[in-house]
Structure 1
Amino acid sequence: MRGQTRQGLRSPGGQQGGRWRRTLCAAAAVAIGVMTQGALAPPAASDSAVTPTAARPDAVQQSLNALVRDDGMPAALASVQDRNGRTRTYTAGVGDVATGSKVPKDGQVRIGSNTKTFTAVVVLQLVAEGKVGLDASVDTYLPGLVRGEGIDGRRITVRQLLQHTSGLPNYSNYLGDDVRYYAPRELLATALRHPADFPPGTRWKYSNTNYVLAGLIVQKVTGRPLGEELDRRIIKRIGLRHTYFPAPGDASIRERHPHGYYRESADARLRDITETDPSWGWAAGQMVSTSSDLNRFFTALLAGRLLPAAQLAQMRSTVPAEATFGSGSRYGLGLVSRPLPCGGLSWGHGGSFPGYETRGGATDDGRAAHVAVTMQLTDEAGRKNLERAADAALCR
């Protein structure tokens, strides 16, 4: 997600949409992080499956090196899949600033708002099963729950939740800096203490609150926890071996991963915020994955392996979202389209979470790429450079 104060879950791509937590978890970093000092190690050699030739430097590796060298990222990772399914993986920087250890190839990261696409897929699967109506009201499934100043769940539809046209205020703009477990309904209650941003269906504005409600609808309709539905309906179904929805209280990252960092200002020390309770992101941004698993997920989605044609078409029905995701970008139902510099569209989402940012997507001809960095980007130039790196990977 993106933001100017960038607290809370940010939208991918470099623009603003949903904001980071009010202080970008600065206080949290002090509480749970390890303060580190010193210069970053130079970019690591490429971990590409196919080594680029010296005569033709690899554009993806060059872009990752630049993110470390010029934008101060501790590490950058990428996985690039061509239209024939061949994959290259890349790394640059160091996986742990304190020890100088290598960046783990295709390591796990917190994927932030990419989680929204997973949540939207489950909702749309329920639509295909006749258990949820896209144009049914939120009150149909959660009667009486959504009420506030200018807010009425009888007038907000499921489609408006998934497309960010509900007008619901963004709870993550109002969270404090304490790191603890947040129940989903606590997140919703935080949002409902504030007035609606606009009447439902009249505008578009990114709000994490929409996806908390979408997750609550999934749980009400299925009678099972959201994490179980994500695992059963998506993760196991298409073989995402390194993707999961953390259980309550699980602050660690299970498999090999680069450490994630926060820097309060350009000249401040890096703070290690790898381990944190991600529950404040919940259905809007709690998941952990890898770049290669994200490639597999988005290519499977576009290929029709997760949704029937009718629901995939609804997901790809978009409205303008340039204010958040950049020039030419549009937002569907948990899915973002962005024009590529080499022509055509990229379909994906992107995400930010304290310590990590991811950008990328997939194309209709089977190409896919995701790039991750291990520090939150708080300046426009850094975000644009990350987006350019993702574009370079998709256009290579």
Structure 2
Amino acid sequence: MEHRAARGIAAALAGLGVAAVLLACGGGKTAGEASPGAASAPAQPASAAQAALTVNAVVAVPSAWPRTLSANGSVAAWQESIVSAEQGGYRLAEVLVNVGDRVRRGQVLARMSVDTVQVELAQTRASLAEAEATLAEAQANAERARQLQTTGAISAQQINQYLTAEKTAQARLLAQRARLQSDELRLAKTTIAAPDDGVISARMATVGAVAGNGQELFRLIRGGRLEWRGEVTAAELSQVKPGMKVVLALPDGGSATGQVRMVAPTVDPQTRNGLVYVDLPAAGASSVRAGMFSRGEFELGRSSALTLPQAAVALRDGFQYVFVIEDQSRVRQTKVTLGRRQGDRVEVLSGLPQGARVVAAGVGFLADGDLVRVVEAAAPPASAAAR
């Protein structure tokens, strides 16, 4: 009896559970009836479901771009002075500067041993004192002879001898004074001084070495000034004018800005190129070094250019294409001709009207006529329009 009662209670509870589930799911409706929420849900558009890519759009707008002219050339010293020994045969006692040092005009670069010159200078000074004493005695004798000339106390021959001795003593004194000046000049030349302000670019002087007459001891970049000598073709030479701005691309990845100082009046008959001399920052003020080979861009002026991001251009079969957005969802592959490049943007010369909306990136995954979903329209950066 107890088992039968338990089975009856379980069956009743199961029936109540099934009824609750049916009420919760159907809301009291039959299985064939549809709910209002399901009937009001909109259907998805076919174009969105078939979109090949979700893209950003960019508008082709004109910008003011600089017109440039490229050239190659080398960096060199504006003027390089060779500092040499003005007299030879003396040992270098001191070398006071090294390569890269900035020096001032008249600054001592090296000194020679002066022992020999000082001894010779002392001898010359002694000879000068002797010549002065001889002259004083000769002048006194000549003066007495002049006083006795009318008295007849001494002969005319003796008077002439005294007068001649006076002139000879004067000449010897002048010779000793000239020799003294020569020895003092030799002593001064044992000190090697900078002929101008600048930077030491080379040093051949070594302490203890005997310098020869005219031997090169130092090289000096005058004023520390450097210049870039760009080679420009004869056809392009007329476009370059003094005062133009030039930007150099340096080997270390940096850049330097210079200004055209002079355009060569002649053209090399072998290469048909002319030189353009560009003033650069002083040596040490930047990473520019004499002897560097660099590429330069002359800024000739500014002109209007229709520009796009380089990522919007696809290269296929040797031609450039962009994808113009039509009807807000379909793209059309359009062939274009490109021109100048600046940063991440490129100039479109032909094939694209101004104001056209094109796919900004990911063009390598698209084909002509594909459906796309445009998320946003990207405006050109302000920096591109201000260039």
- Normalised by the length of structure 2, the TM-score is 0.19
Q: Which one has a larger percent strand, Structure 1 or Structure 2?
A: 2
- Normalised by the length of structure 1, the TM-score is 0.19
Find the structure with the greater CA-based Rg.
Answer: 2
